[in-house]
Structure 1
Amino acid sequence: MKRGRVNIAAKCQSFSPTQSRAKRQRTGQGVSASQSHVPDWGSLPHHIVLHIFQYLSLVDRARASSVCRCWNDVFHIPELWRRFEFELNQPATSYLRSTHPDLIQQIIKRHAQHLQYVSFKVDSCTESAEAACNILSQLVNCTIKTLGLISTARPSFMNVSQSHFVSALTVVFVNSKSLSSIKIDDTPVDDPSLKVLVANNSDTLKLLKMSSCPHVSPAGILCVADQCHGLRELALNYHLLSDELLLALSSEKHVHLEHLRIDVVSENPGQTQFHSIKKSSWDALIRHSPQVNIVMYFFLYEEEFEPFFCDETPVTHLYFGRAVSKDMLGRIGLNCPRLVELVVCANGLEPLDEELIRIAERCKSLTAIGLGECEVTCSGFMEFVKMCGGRLSQLSIMEEVLIPDNSYSMEQIHSEVSKHLGRIWFPDMMPTW
């Protein structure tokens, strides 16, 4: 497809009317009947050329802009510059191409005020993150609505001087005044910069994703929830979650929250103390936002799960990236009635029949489940599938998870599960390469 786009630009350039006429005059060629029907690409209406440009990659669009003056004018129409992704990579460490420095300067000079949906994609090098900060600090005449800072490998923004990063980000927070979506995961954003964000964009902010931002405190995120009453989606680390935050999101002034993502992460076992959230705080959130999706990603060690799911918790999506105990899965069956999706990376060598059956009994909204390094007897698994039936839209079970018994063999499992799901189903196979 990309090759085709380049060819289109090249052909259009070859059909440029001034170039074609000049060439015929030099060679003494006349205009035949067939040549008289060659399209005059340079005289296409602006709106048609603009529509074509919207489907071209940035490189092809730049090449096409050199066809004629008309196309160059279209190249600079503000509508084409509302959405832009700056790619910043170091040649020594990345095979991806960076946005050309000349184009970056052209954008800053001519199109900064047109940018509305902007993202910065950087590799693992600190130099790339610093370059992103340098660009951000120059966007003083912007009206950005969406801002995303993305590290494609290691979070390189964390290696930038905090003062440099916060200063650059504050430029956008102060000058945009219409920010609705911000994704700044794995960055050194801090409480004072969030206060600047709130002071200038409290009426427009709808989405804030800021997981793994160690310089933000619970007070900082509470300030956002207290003032940004239009906030619909929020992603943060568990240490920022508090009863006060949930109550702020449940106030009468606040719109209905649609999506709350919580990352529960521990790097060193025993080093992090996890607090509990009151059932009354969860209840307040659900009364205010009954349709909210509450997504929790767990990367804990088994001994660190004690504070979780001791009382009813309105979580809808649960993902366990490390081993989780039978006791914990039993608690989920008892205290997570709103559960929609469950993914367990590992458990151990104890069959989970009772836990799965309890989840099927009590989690009436469950539609998706995935099991990795776990064990379930074929009979227990079949009982689980029978209880859930056709509402299981996603059922991902590794073949190694299932333990044949006197009731079912591996050959029987395939047909029996397919019958209850109402579609063809096979267990997942471990790749052999």
Structure 2
Amino acid sequence: MATAGCYEQQSWSTLPDHIVVRILLHLDLADRYNASLVCHSWQSCFHQPCMWRYFHFRFLSTVNPRRDHIWGYNQCLAKHGHHLRCVRLSLDQGDEENRHHACRVIESLATTAGRQLAAISVTFTGENPLFYAGAEFVAALKTLFGPTPPTINMPLSQILQVDLSGLSVPYDDSVFTILADNNPNLKSLNILNRILICKASPSSMLHLVKKCRNLTELMAYHCSLSDDILACFAETDRTPVEHLGIVCRREEKYSKTLTSKVWQDLVSAVPNLRVSLGFDHTCPLNRVGELMQPEIPVRELRLETFTRIFEEVNLAAAYYSPTLEKLVLQTRNSDDLGAALLNLAQTCKLLKSIYVYCVLKKEVVEGILASSSLIKETKDYILKWEADPEPWVVGVEEGD
């Protein structure tokens, strides 16, 4: 048994470095810096490159002390900007200073010598100011995605993952043209943001898919896709695409449906392709069934239409029984809907997740759980037969 004297000789500086690093990784920047002042050993760990590979910049006025917070981020970029590999930016865009500092971070990353940045995501957490277009963010992204600045001799690493789904500003085609021309090794791109009008044209997406031969994940609105894009993904001299995320909105009133032939060719060339297919409340209801083509290997289906639908659920059971794993449904209850859901649960043997945002009949809920062993096993479902304050967030649920 250890003596009291042994315990007296222990100090924080005797902790192994890998333990200290694990501790510091769980702290935000301010607390991490304060912890580094404990001793020389902890300060050495604070400056280890592994501490800076994944970093989250937060510009939330109501949470962070402004001046010390920004100073700390500037010091971080100056000393460790070349170590950053995966960067997240979260900001309340309603504050002008937050927007300014977030853009400064993006621009600083673009000009950091020896940059190793491989992944970036930007997320707005508040509401856009009136008449706000976000032009400064578009300009900053163009700088980041652009060619190596002439003042930097060392080549910069190419960006592999870009997630702009949380950035509520209208992108134009030039952003993706610059991204494709200077980052041909891009692997993942998500541009499913909340802007009412999508300005990413099929021609710009085709250019990106042609340039980025290693692209394995693309998440975009249906109006930004075309038969030529799917045909390009089916080419044999590229890395097989793994996941397509497609959302259909109001633009489908005027857009063309991707043809069955190109879907068949793509699935034949990439048999392991996963597709997430979504419809929001702005998508014309008469187009939903047309866009739910049987050739698409849909793993996740989101019918967030808020209308009374059931035929589309029956279509999902008929078309996607070999592939469907998740269903999200925002609608109103009816006897036809209950029958359709029971049919889907019995037909889709791979279904392991189901979220239904309306109050169903008790026998329907029990029937779904009895028919799907995977759903019961994963317990990944929202099925209610009584109205409840949570998790209901979609209108006023009725039990009719």
How far apart in 2 are the matches of 1:374 and 1:169?
44
TM-score, normalised by the number of residues in structure 1: 0.73
1:195-210 matched pairs, under 5 angstroms: 195-203=177-185, 205-210=186-191
How far off is 1:324 after superposition? 4.6
- Flag structure 1 segments of 5+ consecutive residues without an equivalent: 1-32, 401-428
Match of 1:143 in 2: 116
Match of 2:395 in 1: none
Amino acid across the alignment from 1:171: T
Aligned with 1:250 (options 223, 231, 234) = 234
Match of 1:153 in 2: 126
For the pair 1:331 / 2:315, whether they are aligned, the reply is yes
Aligned with 1:167 (options 123, 133, 139) = 139
Match of 2:100 in 1: 130
TM-score, normalised by the number of residues in structure 2: 0.78
How far apart in 2 are the matches of 1:359 and 1:57?
45
Match of 2:279 in 1: 298
Match of 1:316 in 2: 299
Q: Note if contact 1:144-1:178 (Cα within 8 Å) is conserved in structure 2.
A: yes
How far apart in 2 are the matches of 1:272 and 1:343?
23
Larger Rg belongs to:
1
How far off is 1:148 after superposition? 0.7
For the pair 1:263 / 2:247, whether they are aligned, the reply is yes
How far off is 1:316 after superposition? 1.8
Match of 2:157 in 1: 177
How far apart in 2 are the matches of 1:228 and 1:107?
31
How far off is 1:251 after superposition? 1.2
How far off is 1:283 after superposition? 1.4
For the pair 1:110 / 2:82, whether they are aligned, the reply is no
Amino acid across the alignment from 1:147: I
How far apart in 2 are the matches of 1:351 and 1:389?
19
Aligned residue pairs, count:
363
- 1:362-381 Cα offsets, whole Å, 9 max, x none, are 53433333333365683x77
- Flag structure 2 segments of 5+ consecutive residues without an equivalent: 149-155, 393-400
For the pair 1:430 / 2:388, whether they are aligned, the reply is yes
Q: 1:273 to 1:97 in 2, by over 3 A?
A: farther
Amino acid across the alignment from 1:193: V
Match of 1:287 in 2: 268
1:185-200 matched pairs, under 5 angstroms: 185=165, 186-200=168-182
Q: Note if contact 1:236-1:262 (Cα within 8 Å) is conserved in structure 2.
A: yes
- 1:60-104 Cα offsets, whole Å, 9 max, x none, are 2211222345543432232222221110123xxx34666711112
Match of 1:340 in 2: 325
Aligned with 2:192 (options 199, 206, 211) = 211
Q: 1:65 to 1:395 in 2, by over 3 A?
A: closer
How far off is 1:299 after superposition? 0.9
Greater RCO, CA 8 A, separation 6+: 2
Q: 1:243 to 1:351 in 2, by over 3 A?
A: same
Amino acid across the alignment from 2:120: L
How far apart in 2 are the matches of 1:36 and 1:397?
55
How far off is 1:302 after superposition? 3.2
SS of residue in 1 equivalent to 2:220: strand
What do you get for the CA RMSD once the two structures are aligned? 3.4
Match of 1:413 in 2: none
How far apart in 1 are the matches of 2:337 and 2:272?
30
Match of 1:398 in 2: 384
- 1:171-229 Cα offsets, whole Å, 9 max, x none, are 322344321211112343332222222222212x2111111363321111112211212
1:35-46 matched pairs, under 5 angstroms: 37-39=8-10, 41-42=12-13
Q: 1:312 to 1:249 in 2, by over 3 A?
A: closer
How far off is 1:43 after superposition? 7.0
How far apart in 1 are the matches of 2:39 and 2:219?
47
For the pair 1:236 / 2:220, whether they are aligned, the reply is yes
How far apart in 1 are the matches of 2:358 and 2:384?
8
Q: Note if contact 1:147-1:182 (Cα within 8 Å) is conserved in structure 2.
A: yes
- 1:16-61 Cα offsets, whole Å, 9 max, x none, are xxxxxxxxxxxxxxxxx95994435457676664454334442222
Q: 1:56 to 1:372 in 2, by over 3 A?
A: closer
Q: Note if contact 2:360-2:383 (Cα within 8 Å) is conserved in structure 1.
A: no
How far apart in 2 are the matches of 1:366 and 1:40?
53
Amino acid across the alignment from 2:141: L
Q: 1:285 to 1:312 in 2, by over 3 A?
A: closer
Match of 1:82 in 2: 53
Percent of aligned pairs with the same amino acid: 24
Q: 1:336 to 1:100 in 2, by over 3 A?
A: same
